[in-house]
Structure 1
Amino acid sequence: MSKVAVVTGGTRGIGRSISERLVKDGYKVAATYAGNDEAAQACAKEIGVSVFKFDVGDFDACAEGIAKIEAEVGPVEVLVNNAGITWDAPFHKMSKEAWQKVINVDLDSAFNMTRNVWEGMRDRGFGRVINISSINGQKGQFTQANYSAAKAGLIGFTKALAYEGAKKGITSNVVAPGYIDTEMLQAVKPEILQGIIATIPNGRLGKPEEIASMVAYLASEEAAFINGATMTVNGAQYIAG
């Protein structure tokens, strides 16, 4: 029987690539999304995922969403917390709204989703929680105090979960992408984008499929002894000690 995987923000960008890879690997995938109905329906039709629209920043919405997913698709065995937004500003100009919204979507959502699948994973003696952080959660970034804090928080959250889930067959790991060639990054001015690429020793942007490949490995049986790890996929742009 196919395992069920949930990918938050799973219908666009890196999330869509993760959803597509997991489908190819034989999972039944439920992809959540926040607002772009057109992209979600295209994703469902083109790669064969089930799509569910709810706000991952809202605990009650997540509880209802997970209940619906498990009723329609099956018990969640793999959770990929990928959903995230940016709202950049220099810290001396950052509003409380910009801070809170990014923390809510990028960090609180991981609690909201994981808490609602955790007991089921414990009861079944198996689970994979994979949190998508960022190079900027490891090294920080100008104008991204909110985003960097949220993505760094995911790493600490994951380490704690790794201790708690280990004896119940649950692993919790982080994938920390560098700069990945997505629609969002392509919107950056060409001269700025070239400046970013110049700081990457591999000399190019990453591919969404490369993040998806790492996620697929961490979700697999072969990765059962990897727990509490942060897997950097950034072309050697930042090497954590």
Structure 2
Amino acid sequence: MSGKLEGKTALITGASKGLGRAIAEEFAKEGARVAINYAHDEKSALEVKKITGGEIFKADVSNRDQVKEMARQIHEKLGKIDILVNNSGIWYLMPFENYDEEKVRRMLDVNLMGAIYTTLEFLPDLKEKKGTIINIGSNAGIGTAAKNTTFYSLTKAAIIMLTKRLAFDLSEYSIRVNAIAPGWIETDLTIGGKTDEEIRKLEEDFKSRTTLKMFGKPEYIGKAALFLASSDSVYMNGQVIVIDGGRIDNLTHSI
């Protein structure tokens, strides 16, 4: 590897599985020290620690007190961070008319407020380091028609606007803020609990909806995050990279 992140310290929220894990692994390969945040699955977090040589930190990012305590522990063990990846996210499928107050608020708390709390807590580090923020959104937040994902899509649309506003507001500190909007990626979030046959059908269905005829893998997002974290993207700010296999006709297909 080329050591693109040598000497850098990165915090990835929700890094015990899926996209967060893939990002942590890519960063570690390029020399970064990684802070692996997790909320529940310590076993998976320890696996990522073993692979990356990083440190694990438990915190529910929707709880500001827990985020503050995580920051204290990270500063004690690893020092100040250079890179923040706001990856933590959850989703619940529901028709709009079946609005569930608890589930919608939970998505808002984790997907949006979690990114806000974590960014606020580590902003002094990023100002000093002229650091980088990468927000993980979704193509569901920029117009993809996905059945029963209205409220989830709203939280991810907010992440995209947060990215653009922070890119403007924090530019005076030379902090770059960009986002990744994945399409359908094979993770526990999307295929967890499904049978092999259900997964096969799902893969074939989504392959048919992309110009590349491919199903998304977490490593695709990890490599994009590495690009945004490194000096390779030094002239990018306030941008959203869509990684969805070239999804065909976002307005007519439904998940």
Same fold (TM over 0.5): yes
CA contact (8 A) 1:98 1:146 kept: no
Residue 92 of structure 2 is matched in structure 1 by 87
**Structure 1: which amino acid aligns with 2:66?**
A
Superimposed CA distance per residue, residues 70-110 of structure 1 (whole angstroms, 9 cap, x where no aligned partner)? 11111011000001111111111121011100111111101
CA contact (8 A) 1:135 1:238 kept: no
Q: Find 2:133's aligned residue among 108, 115, 129.
A: 129
CA contact (8 A) 2:140 2:153 kept: yes
Q: Does 1:138 align with 2:142?
A: yes
Residue 198 of structure 1 is matched in structure 2 by 208
The normalised TM-score by structure 1 is 0.94
The normalised TM-score by structure 2 is 0.89
CA contact (8 A) 1:131 1:173 kept: yes
**Distance in 2 of aligned mates of 1:87 and 1:193:** 20
Residue 43 of structure 1 is matched in structure 2 by 48
Residue 103 of structure 1 is matched in structure 2 by 108
Residue 218 of structure 1 is matched in structure 2 by 228
| Shift in alpha-carbon separation, 1:55–1:201, aligned structure 2, 3 A | same
In the TM superposition, residue 238 of structure 1 has moved relative to its aligned partner by 6.0
Superimposed CA distance per residue, residues 134-191 of structure 1 (whole angstroms, 9 cap, x where no aligned partner)? 1111124221122101111000001010011212110000001111122333345243
Unaligned runs of 5+ in 1: none
Q: Percent identity?
A: 30
Q: Does 1:13 align with 2:23?
A: no
In the TM superposition, residue 239 of structure 1 has moved relative to its aligned partner by 8.4
Q: Does 1:174 align with 2:179?
A: yes
In the TM superposition, residue 68 of structure 1 has moved relative to its aligned partner by 1.1
**Distance in 2 of aligned mates of 1:239 and 1:221:** 34
Q: Secondary structure of the equivalent of 1:139?
A: coil
Q: Does 1:76 align with 2:77?
A: no
CA contact (8 A) 1:125 1:168 kept: no
**Distance in 2 of aligned mates of 1:191 and 1:125:** 46
CA contact (8 A) 1:62 1:116 kept: yes
Q: Find 2:217's aligned residue among 202, 207, 226.
A: 207
In the TM superposition, residue 211 of structure 1 has moved relative to its aligned partner by 0.7
**Structure 2: which amino acid aligns with 1:129?**
I
CA contact (8 A) 2:211 2:248 kept: no
In the TM superposition, residue 210 of structure 1 has moved relative to its aligned partner by 1.2
CA contact (8 A) 1:139 1:238 kept: no
Moved more, 206-215 or 175-184: 175-184
CA-based RMSD: 1.7
**Distance in 2 of aligned mates of 1:9 and 1:76:** 16
**Distance in 2 of aligned mates of 1:197 and 1:94:** 31
Q: Does 1:231 align with 2:241?
A: yes
Residue 120 of structure 1 is matched in structure 2 by 125
**Distance in 2 of aligned mates of 1:5 and 1:238:** 34
**Distance in 2 of aligned mates of 1:222 and 1:239:** 31
In the TM superposition, residue 48 of structure 1 has moved relative to its aligned partner by 1.5
**Distance in 1 of aligned mates of 2:217 and 2:77:** 32
Unaligned runs of 5+ in 2: 1-5, 251-255
Show structure 1 runs of 4+ deviating over 6 A: none
